[in-house]
Chains A and B, each alone.
Chain A
Amino acid sequence: GAGVSQSPRYKVAKRGQDVALRCDPISGHVSLFWYQQALGQGPEFLTYFQNEAQLDKSGLPSDRFFAERPEGSVSTLKIQRTQQEDSAVYLCASSFGRPASSGANVLTFGAGSRLTVL
């Protein structure tokens, strides 16, 4: 696609519900990132994929957060048993190359999925 597409744009969940957020990166982009952006804050790294391999998940805040990219394209971020502190905008970004070898490629971001947990 022309850009990074994320769905849903808005999600309201009751505390304890599971949610799944989808990211469709730019076609051919090898690297895919998930970021969490709390209100009034900068994006915070969650996890990174190179093709289908999840190479870094050090930013995932708890074992309730899980991300996958099974075919190296679309990615899903799943949050189990949501809590109020999970309320944030979840941003997906992709880049053509692999950051470590290409000198930090430019990230192209999606518009984000805004999650509100009641």
Chain B
Amino acid sequence: AQKVTQAQTEISVVEKEDVTLDCVYETRDTTYYLFWYKQPPSGELVFLIRRNSFDEQNEISGRYSWNFQKSTSSFNFTITASQVVDSAVYFCAGANTGNQFYFGTGTSLTVIP
């Protein structure tokens, strides 16, 4: 069975602070894929990043960066210099080579101006 854990339910930061969202993906499979999605108040899930289990290189894209560590099954997401527009619910998801994508319960991020 697969399980996605996002231990942080809600986070509040002041604008321009950095914030890290945690995710742990538990699976017995050696091949799997991890995703981060953003869900703004409008409700539509927006894709942010996908990584596979063989690639532990960290990635930076603008103010976003991701850190994947296979040994701890963690796939953490950092927003640098947060902005009010970053306020949303962020979901981590995992998928094996089957058809199902498993989502965590989400972390609600509020950036205070």
Chain B min CB distance to A96 (Å): 13
Q: Is A91 among interface residues, defined by CB-CB distance under 8 A?
A: yes
Q: Is B100 among interface residues, defined by CB-CB distance under 8 A?
A: yes
> Are A45 and B102 in contact, CB atoms less than 8 angstroms apart?
yes
Looking across the interface, which residue of chain B has its beta carbon closest to that of A110?
B44
Chain A min CB distance to B95 (Å): 4
> Are A44 and B103 in contact, CB atoms less than 8 angstroms apart?
yes
Interface size on B, residues (CB 8 A): 28
Q: Is A23 among interface residues, defined by CB-CB distance under 8 A?
A: no
> Are A99 and B95 in contact, CB atoms less than 8 angstroms apart?
yes
Looking across the interface, which residue of chain B has its beta carbon closest to that of A56?
B99
The stretch of B14-22, B45-53, B56-64, B71-79 in contact with A is B45-53
> Are B45 and A43 in contact, CB atoms less than 8 angstroms apart?
yes
Asked whether A104 and B101 contact (CB < 8 A) given A89-B43, A111-B42, the answer is yes
Query: In the complex, what distance in Å separates the CA atom of A45 from the CA atom of B102?
Result: 7
Q: Is A1 among interface residues, defined by CB-CB distance under 8 A?
A: no
> Are A103 and B99 in contact, CB atoms less than 8 angstroms apart?
no
Q: Which residues on A are within 8 Å of B, measured CB to CB? A: 31, 33, 35, 40-45, 48, 55-56, 59, 89, 91, 93, 99-100, 103-104, 106-112, 114
Q: List 4 additional A-B contacts (Cβ < 8 Å) besides A35-B103, A42-B91, A100-B98.
A: A33-B99, A44-B103, A89-B43, A109-B44
A-B contact pairs, 15 of them (CB 8 A): A42-B91, A42-B93, A42-B104, A43-B91, A45-B100, A89-B43, A99-B99, A100-B99, A103-B52, A103-B97, A104-B33, A107-B47, A108-B47, A110-B44, A112-B43
